[in-house]
Amino acid sequence: MAKSSIKIAAHDLETLRREAKLTKRSISGQASYWMAIGKAVEHSGIFDVANVRKALSRQVSPDVLTGPEQEVFVDELLEAARVQTPEQEALFEDRRKRGIGVGLDQDGEIVQESGEADT
């Protein structure tokens, strides 16, 4: 078996580890199993990943997606929201330099760079 490495998000790796342990598979075995399922689903005709991609790029409304496609759409949308865009990073860097709020805390209060709420 050829060895190679891939980058995977920490939370996805943790999910793989947990499921591999539960199913008595290796981590790579679990990943391969899920890839096979994903491939089968995409080829089933019930689920079309191209439709999900179109909805994510706003070419079609998410309302036209099937139930399973909508679930993947929401998962992908939430995953994309976890990663700051370069534009967002620049915005918050500018706000830090100007000494104004850089975000919200868990209570919805504006947070300064020091972590203190702006009241």
Task: Tell me if 27 sits within 8 A of 20, measured CB to CB.
Answer: yes
pLDDT at residue 92, rounded to an integer: 81
pLDDT at residue 118, rounded to an integer: 44
Residue 1 forms part of a structural domain: no
Clarify whether residues 91 and 77 are in a common domain. Answer: no
pLDDT at residue 119, rounded to an integer: 45
Residue 2 forms part of a structural domain: no
Residue 71 forms part of a structural domain: yes
Q: How far apart are CA 39 and CA 23, in angstroms?
A: 20
Clarify whether residues 30 and 19 are in a common domain. Answer: yes
Clarify whether residues 89 and 115 are in a common domain. Answer: yes
Clarify whether residues 78 and 60 are in a common domain. Answer: yes
Number of domains, the chain: 3
Using alpha carbons only, how large is the chain's radius of gyration in Å? 20
Residue ranges for the chain with pLDDT beneath 70: 1, 102, 113-119
Residue 110 forms part of a structural domain: yes
Q: What residue spans of the chain are helical by DSSP H?
A: 10-23, 27-43, 49-56, 67-82, 86-98
Residue 4 forms part of a structural domain: no
pLDDT at residue 106, rounded to an integer: 76
Q: How far apart are CA 15 and CA 61, in angstroms?
A: 30
Q: How far apart are CA 66 and CA 51, in angstroms?
A: 9
Clarify whether residues 117 and 90 are in a common domain. Answer: yes
Clarify whether residues 89 and 119 are in a common domain. Answer: yes
Q: List the domain range (segments joined by +) for residue 90.
A: 85-119
pLDDT at residue 114, rounded to an integer: 59
Q: How far apart are CA 30 and CA 20, in angstroms?
A: 5
pLDDT at residue 40, rounded to an integer: 86
